[in-house]
Structures are given as C-alpha cells and as structure tokens.
Copies of this chain bind each other. A is one copy, B any other.
Amino acid sequence: MVPQTRRSGCPINLTLEQIGDRWSLIVIRDVMFANRRTYGALLEQNEEGIASNILASRLKHLTASGLLTRSPDPNHQQKGIYCLTEAAIQLVPLLAHMAAWGVRHTHPSKEASLPAILLEKGGPSLWSAFMDDLRHLHLGAPRPARSAFDQLRTEDGKAITSWY
C-alpha cells in the first residue's frame, strides 16, 4: 500500500517509502528490461521465484503509487497489460547504477551481468536512448531513430535474448 504518513521529507527516504522493498524493484526490472507485461508472464518467468500473492500485492502497490498503469488486454478482456509510467522510466539511471554496483560487489553470474556491463559501458547517453525506447513501448511515444535495444543486442555480436 502507499504509505499514508511520511516518516520524513528527505527525498531518499521518500523514494525508499515508494520503491524500497526489493520485490517492487524486481517487478519493475522485469517489466522494464524483459518486457514482461502481464501477471502471468511476470509470475512464470521471474528468475527469483516471486510468490503469486507478493506479485499481486506489488502490482497493486505500484499501480496505486503511479509507477505502473494497467489496461485491459485487447485480446483477452479479463487480462491486464501493465505499462511503465514516465516516473518509472526515470528509474533507468538508478537501476543502471544498482546493476553496476552489483557487478562489482555481489559476485553475480556472468550471463546475468552482461546487460549491466553493457549499460554501464554505454553510460548516460545509452540510458537516455533506452528511456526513449521505453517511452515508445509503454507511453505511445514515436519510435526513436536510434534504438538502445538494438545496440544492446548487437554489442560483441551477442544477442541479449532474455531482455526483449
């Protein structure tokens, strides 16, 4: 749930009040980088084995706090499609830094580190291009001339198939 009272006015505290439980950021990561857009895809493909009740509560929380929107799937009226909001898209630099820190200090698996390493190598200009890709995919903005997805796919000749 969105907290009704703020423990302090500090922007770091308030960011943590909004996204500071690990499962919220895991769900945003899966929507953002792996383009999983339905409850089913988010549940079944999640590498960390998120529980169905936790996923459902986080999707409600993220929707209520303005990080995701939910619209009916045109092909399955009962299913919802989740989209990132502009506020969520602006988490890209934070997630890129989180991933870069993780590569240095948490001994991640090699395969799972590749996107993080490419994101760090590309720096702010690549993050910005990636955010434009996300605005196209999630907010209906025009398709950008230069796609970060393409760039991330073809670096070193390897496809990052788990991404998108």
Q: Footprint of B on A, CB under 8 Å?
A: 7-18, 20-22, 25-26, 29, 47-49, 66, 87, 90-91, 93-95, 97-109, 111-113, 116
Chain B: minimal CB distance from A58 (Å): 13
Q: Is the CB of B12 within 8 A of A98?
A: yes
In the complex with contacts A21-B22, A25-B20, A97-B93, A48-B13 CB distance below 8 A: yes
Q: When the two chains form the complex, which single residue of B49, B93, B102 contacts A14, counting CB atoms closer than 8 Å?
A: B102
Q: When the two chains form the complex, which single residue of B9, B26, B113 contacts A108, counting CB atoms closer than 8 Å?
A: B9
Q: Is the CB of B112 within 8 A of A9?
A: yes
Q: Is the CB of A7 within 8 A of B106?
A: no
Who on chain B is nearest to A33 by CB? Answer: B12
Who on chain B is nearest to A87 by CB? Answer: B105
Residues of B within 8 A of A14 (CB): 102, 106-108
Please measure, in the bound complex, the distance between the C-alpha atom of A101 and the C-alpha atom of B16, giving whole angstroms.
Answer: 11
Q: Please classify the interface of chain A as helix (H, G, I), strand (E, B), loop, or mixed, using the class held by over half of its residues.
A: helix
- A22, A103, A111: residue with the most chain B Cβ atoms closer than 10 Å: A22
Q: Is the CB of B22 within 8 A of A17?
A: yes
Q: Is the CB of A91 within 8 A of B101?
A: yes
- A13, A66, A108, A111: residue with the most chain B Cβ atoms closer than 10 Å: A13
Q: Is the CB of B99 within 8 A of A15?
A: yes
Please measure, in the bound complex, the distance between the C-alpha atom of A20 and the C-alpha atom of B106, giving whole angstroms.
Answer: 13
Who on chain B is nearest to A86 by CB? Answer: B105
Q: Is the CB of B90 within 8 A of A11?
A: no
